[in-house]
């Protein structure tokens, strides 16, 4: 399943999103706000209002020449082009992150260390960042909505959770050459056996049986694939950082 994400940039009281980026690109392509509006199926008045709102926090984005039957020509400022480039970088990063293969381990919070929790799973104990997805009261947003606060407040000891481990955060090691716990910041370490290798053009997705109901997944380069001689039946040590691991309340 492909996971869709929508990138947004927050500057002051203004949020710059996909619709705003589409409008700026259309202005650059058609040379006027009117032409951009017609191409996007929006009213010119709505487009001008949208630009005005953005410019209150982001500064001049569109240089407009008034007059003429079409309302005058328009072009993007250098700041607008920089903003578009930045937005595309964020959008690409989010899209890539959302579509990365991940494994979901289920278990129970057995201890808490601030915003981190120790979760007992079939594979063993996982240290993960606790993220409570329950909306805050009185209309206030949680951290996931862009405001600061304790996102782990609802996940107490005894709570059933699901721990998401993205494949691009897992590193694999030869058991005879794996670094000691004090030599790496990856607090989560599990011994396992490779069950499947799905090799793509640039990277390979490796499935590892670590004793859980689902295999742990790791994305590795072809160089690592060859160096570790990864194939079904090979023993490995899989490691991943606590900060790259999210635990959320398990769905009923």
What is the CATH class of 9-98?
Answer: mainly alpha
pLDDT at 77: 93
What predicted TM-score, i.e. pTM, was given to this entire model?
Answer: 0.55
- Of the candidates 219, 227, 4, 231, the one whose C-alpha atom is nearest the C-alpha of residue 103 is 219
pLDDT at 134: 42
* Domain with residues 102-249, CATH architecture: Beta Barrel (2.40)
pLDDT at 161: 92
Instruction: Give the chain's mean pLDDT.
Output: 81
**pLDDT tens for each residue of 154-200:** 788 999 999 989 888 899 999 988 776 554 556 899 999 999 999 88
Q: For the chain, what are the domain ranges? A: 9-98, 102-249
Q: What is the SS3 assignment for the chain?
A: CCCCCCCCEEECCEEECHHHHHHHHHHHHHCCHHHHHHHHCCCHHHHHHHHHHHHHHHCCCEEECCCCCCCCCEEECHHHHHHHHHHHHHHHHHHHHHCCCEEEEEEEEEEEECCEEEEEECCEEEEEEECCCCCCHHHCCCHHHCCCCCCCCCCCCCCEEEEEEEHHHCEEECCCCCCCHHHCCCCEEEEEEEEEEEECCCEEEEEEECCCCCCEEEEEEHHHHHHCCCCCCCEEEEEECHHHEEEEECCC
CB half-sphere exposure, 234, CA atoms < 13 A: 20
CB half-sphere exposure, 239, CA atoms < 13 A: 17
Residues in the chain predicted with pLDDT less than 70, given as ranges, are 1-7, 66-72, 91-100, 133-153, 180-186, 251-252
Question: Helices 18-30 and 78-98 meet at what angle, rounded to 10?
Answer: 130
- Of the candidates 123, 213, 108, 212, the one whose C-alpha atom is nearest the C-alpha of residue 160 is 108
């Amino acid at each position: 399943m492909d996971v869709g994400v929508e990138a947004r940039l927050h500057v002051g009281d203004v949020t710059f999103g996909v619709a705003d980026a589409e409008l700026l690109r259309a202005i650059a392509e058609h040379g006027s706000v009117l032409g951009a509006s017609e191409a996007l199926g929006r009213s010119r008045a709505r487009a001008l209002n949208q630009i005005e709102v953005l410019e209150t926090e982001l500064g001049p984005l569109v240089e407009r020449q008034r007059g003429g039957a079409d309302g005058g020509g328009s072009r993007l400022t250098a700041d607008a082009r920089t903003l578009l480039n930045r937005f595309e970088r964020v959008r690409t990063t989010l899209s890539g992150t959302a579509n990365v293969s991940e494994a979901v381990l289920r278990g129970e919070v057995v201890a808490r260390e601030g915003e981190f929790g120790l979760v007992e799973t079939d594979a063993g104990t996982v240290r993960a960042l606790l993220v409570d997805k329950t909306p805050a009261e009185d209309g206030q947003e949680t951290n996931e909505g862009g405001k600061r606060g304790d996102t782990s407040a609802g996940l107490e000891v005894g709570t059933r959770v699901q721990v998401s481990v993205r494949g691009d955060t897992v590193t694999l090691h030869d058991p005879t050459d794996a670094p000691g716990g004090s030599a790496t910041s990856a607090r989560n370490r599990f011994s396992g056996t490779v069950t499947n290798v799905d090799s793509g053009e640039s990277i390979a997705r490796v499935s590892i049986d670590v004793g859980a109901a689902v295999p742990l997944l790791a994305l590795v380069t072809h160089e690592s694939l060859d160096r570790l001689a990864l194939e079904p039946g090979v023993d490995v040590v899989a490691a991943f950082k606590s900060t790259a691991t999210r635990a959320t309340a398990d769905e009923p």
